[in-house]
Amino acid sequence: MKNAVLQTLLISGLLIGMGSCTNYQTRKGNTCYDNISYSSAIKHYEKSFRKNNDSEVALRLANSYYKINILDSAESLYAQAENAGNRSPELFLEYGEVLMQNGKHSEAAKKLQTYIGMNPTDARAKMHLASCFSISERYRDTTLFILKPIKEDKFENTFSIIPYKDGAVFVADKTATAGRKRSSYTGNSYLDLYYIQKDAEGEWKEPELLAGDINGRFHEGPATFSKDGRTVYFTRSNYFKREMIVNEEHENNLKIFKASLQNGKWENLEEFPYNSDDYSVGHPTLSEDGKTLYFVSDMPGGNGGPDLYKSTLEKIKWLEPEEIEIETSSTNFSRAKTKVQTEVWTKPENLGSTVNTSGREMFPFLHTDGNLYFSSDAHNSLGGLDVFVTKNDGMRWSTPENLNYPLNSKNDDFGFSLNKENTSGYVSSSRNEKDKIYAFDKLPPTFNLYGIARKKGTEIALEGVTVEITNPRTGYITNMVTDRNGQFKLRLNPESNYNLVCAKIGCFSKRDHISTLGLKYSEDFYADFEVEEIVIDKPIVLDNIYYDFDKWEIRPDAALELDKLVQLLQDNPTIEIEMGSHTDARGVDLYNLTLSNKRAKSAVKYLIEKGIDASRLTYQGYGEKVLVNACQNDVFCSEEKHQQNRRTEFKVTKIRK
């Protein structure tokens, strides 16, 4: 987007002092550069640089290539400027930005760190640096968008395409033909608004200029349409008759205009009331009810670069007759006889520092669901402008989220729009040198469940194990059966909960739970079921069941382990069990027997309180009768050996039919 668009979109030229460069080609290059005529500046700087390897000329030449998006040449020249001894902060900042857009993020980080050392308060540079270190996050899920270029060979650059009626409207320029006015910034024609439709076979037909007064002598840029399609707000260069209007800084700013559709032509142009000759206002997007306009401006009071603003159409205001003058001729006015109603746009409101940064926030698009999409070269972008999304909850804007690769690239991505169904849309990108428009399909994240069943305590896979998967919201049940490798696979739905029950005749059933609620990125889930055969009267030790000294109450840590037994009993409703408690051999035998009996009884009581039928439960205290090692009376053992004997077990005593 550095080429056809940047000058159209609020940004003035970067002015860097040139010291004592006084040769003719340098002076001519400086004049073109300061007038933001980068294509012309390159021609002069190239000639000057070949004769005199000057670091300042190299820097301006690099900047010129950067502005028109010839990034490989820009990178090479920044390197030459640095090697020639140029240490200006601008070099390291823009060199870092170019390296980011060329996909060299580790090298970019070094340049940005040097720049931040010179300008430690530059928030935008710090955002760039953070982006270099988190670049892998931008590729975390590359399946969410599928892009397809819209080929329009008659244009040099195309961008900011939005749906309109049965087709779409976009902005474009062409190669400037002889005798036709051209942009000094790019050397191409000025930008215009075009309408394009598809034929019966779904192929794009020949684009047509929007008819009427909407396309003028200079630039027309991004537009937005009312719901009924009869009103348009669009961006236009600030000009009068045949001349551009520039301010004291020699900048030509942008303005928003409104037009209405009359007999197939756009007429009755009106300026947005907050336009100015001193700053730019552009890139409008209109809410569905037509009462809120979001736009971009570099007006005073912003965060440093172009920011996002909004203005709301106030309720209809009735004006008294004495407040109104009606023109009756070219020189005479008369008073209105009755009250007249009017509509008033409120003073622009900056969207605040959560959305706006010291970088560039541009190209807003308001979706019908309330999400606001926009492009920024700050926040956490891949390199140039990336598309972000934010939403207002009525109180504040959410932290913008990067839409990531492949919708975004290491170059500029902008001019995003999305259909009402949230399934397809358009985006503009300079990922292939020039600005081009792309159609995209927006896909939901994919979730896969990979499961395996194996014999407990081994890696032996079990075939024929049934896994019942239930969606409790819909009640839909899917039954999977493990293959000869003990495995199964299932595609899960977004925004869903799933209960899994693994069952095999003669074995304990096991349960698991998986949720895709709130997940925005594709993810794989894994269920590993250890299948254990039910053996009558075989003791099964419950790990980590501890009691305080001389106590039998269930401690919180023991409750966590008993809760697992509760789940097992719920998953296997036909089994009856005995809870058994054991002590070590130390102490009086009768005391140990009594204490263990109380502990086993306490465990059963806990299970009953958790909803297990008491008829399925018995208990038995064994004291020190059933030791698992040789630590009998009068035998010295370590505390670890004694702990092995102080255990709580359960065993299945019966399987109900």
Residue 1 falls inside a structural domain:
no
Q: Which residues pair with 543 in a beta bridge?
A: none
- The pLDDT, as a whole number, for residue 244 is 63
Residue 349 falls inside a structural domain:
yes
Instruction: Report how far apart, in Å, the C-alpha atoms of 402 and of each of 89, 300, 520 are.
Output: 28, 27, 12
User: For residue 322, what pLDDT band results from cuts at 50, 70 and 90?
Assistant: low
Residue 138 falls inside a structural domain:
no
Are both 317 and 412 inside the same structural domain?
yes
- The pLDDT, as a whole number, for residue 557 is 80
Both tokens of 338, joined, read 């009755």
Residue 161 falls inside a structural domain:
yes
- The pLDDT, as a whole number, for residue 248 is 56
- The pLDDT, as a whole number, for residue 13 is 32
Are both 308 and 377 inside the same structural domain?
yes
> Could you tell me which of 83, 74, 88 has the C-alpha nearest to residue 16?
88
Please state, in angstroms and rounded to a whole number, the distance separating the CA atoms of residues 34 and 65.
14
User: For residue 8, what pLDDT band results from cuts at 50, 70 and 90?
Assistant: very low
126 pLDDT more than 60: yes
Choose the final residue of a domain: 468, 502, 531.
531
- The pLDDT, as a whole number, for residue 18 is 33
- Under 8 Å between Cβ of 420 and 378: no
Are both 391 and 453 inside the same structural domain?
no
Instruction: Report how far apart, in Å, the C-alpha atoms of 28 and of each of 24, 43, 65, 579 are.
Output: 6, 9, 17, 95
> Could you tell me which of 184, 206, 197 has the C-alpha nearest to residue 251?
184
- Under 8 Å between Cβ of 116 and 129: yes
Choose the final residue of a domain: 442, 466, 488.
442
Phi, then psi, of 258 in degrees rounded to 5: -115, 140
Quote the mean pLDDT of the chain.
87
Task: Indicate the range of 241-255, 284-298, 609-623 predicted with least confidence.
Answer: 241-255
Please state, in angstroms and rounded to a whole number, the distance separating the CA atoms of residues 491 and 482.
15
Are both 470 and 552 inside the same structural domain?
no
- The pLDDT, as a whole number, for residue 325 is 53
Residue 139 falls inside a structural domain:
no
Please state, in angstroms and rounded to a whole number, the distance separating the CA atoms of residues 484 and 504.
15
- The pLDDT, as a whole number, for residue 189 is 85
Residue 140 falls inside a structural domain:
no
Q: What is the CATH number of the domain that holds 566?
A: 3.30.1330.60
Are both 555 and 493 inside the same structural domain?
no
User: What pLDDT, in 10s, does the model give residues 135-156?
Assistant: 999 999 999 999 999 988 889 9
User: For residue 330, what pLDDT band results from cuts at 50, 70 and 90?
Assistant: very low
Choose the final residue of a domain: 531, 548, 571.
531
- The pLDDT, as a whole number, for residue 15 is 29
Are both 454 and 477 inside the same structural domain?
yes
- In terms of pTM, does the model score above 0.75? yes
Task: Indicate the range of 40-49, 364-373, 574-583 predicted with least confidence.
Answer: 40-49
Average pLDDT of the residues in 600-616: 94
Phi, then psi, of 585 in degrees rounded to 5: -85, -5
Please state, in angstroms and rounded to a whole number, the distance separating the CA atoms of residues 71 and 384.
11
83 pLDDT more than 70: yes
Both tokens of 342, joined, read 């009017």
Pairing of strands 292-297, 307-312: antiparallel
> Could you tell me which of 283, 305, 295 has the C-alpha nearest to residue 359?
305
Are both 321 and 379 inside the same structural domain?
yes
What lies within 8 Å, CB to CB, of 396 at 6+ separation is 352, 354
> Could you tell me which of 116, 119, 121, 79 has the C-alpha nearest to residue 98?
79
Please state, in angstroms and rounded to a whole number, the distance separating the CA atoms of residues 509 and 519.
29
Average pLDDT of the residues in 596-607: 92
Write down the residue that tokens 């947005």 correspond to: 272
Are both 431 and 460 inside the same structural domain?
no
Please state, in angstroms and rounded to a whole number, the distance separating the CA atoms of residues 283 and 222.
5
Question: What range defines the domain where residue 63 resides?
Answer: 6-133
- Classified as helix, coil or strand, 80 is helix
Number of other residues whose CB lies within 10 A of the CB of residue 412: 30
Are both 182 and 36 inside the same structural domain?
no
Report CA 84 to chain centroid distance, whole Å: 40
User: For residue 340, what pLDDT band results from cuts at 50, 70 and 90?
Assistant: low
12 pLDDT more than 60: no
Are both 634 and 575 inside the same structural domain?
yes
Average pLDDT of the residues in 504-526: 93
- Classified as helix, coil or strand, 357 is coil
- The pLDDT, as a whole number, for residue 94 is 93
- Under 8 Å between Cβ of 393 and 420: no
Residue 221 falls inside a structural domain:
yes
Q: What is the CATH number of the domain that holds 98?
A: 1.25.40.10
- The pLDDT, as a whole number, for residue 193 is 96
Both tokens of 420, joined, read 């009402």
Are both 581 and 631 inside the same structural domain?
yes
Residue 11 falls inside a structural domain:
yes
Are both 63 and 174 inside the same structural domain?
no
Q: What is the CATH number of the domain that holds 454?
A: 2.60.40.1120
User: For residue 259, what pLDDT band results from cuts at 50, 70 and 90?
Assistant: very high
**For the chain, how many structural domains are there in total?**
4
Average pLDDT of the residues in 621-627: 91
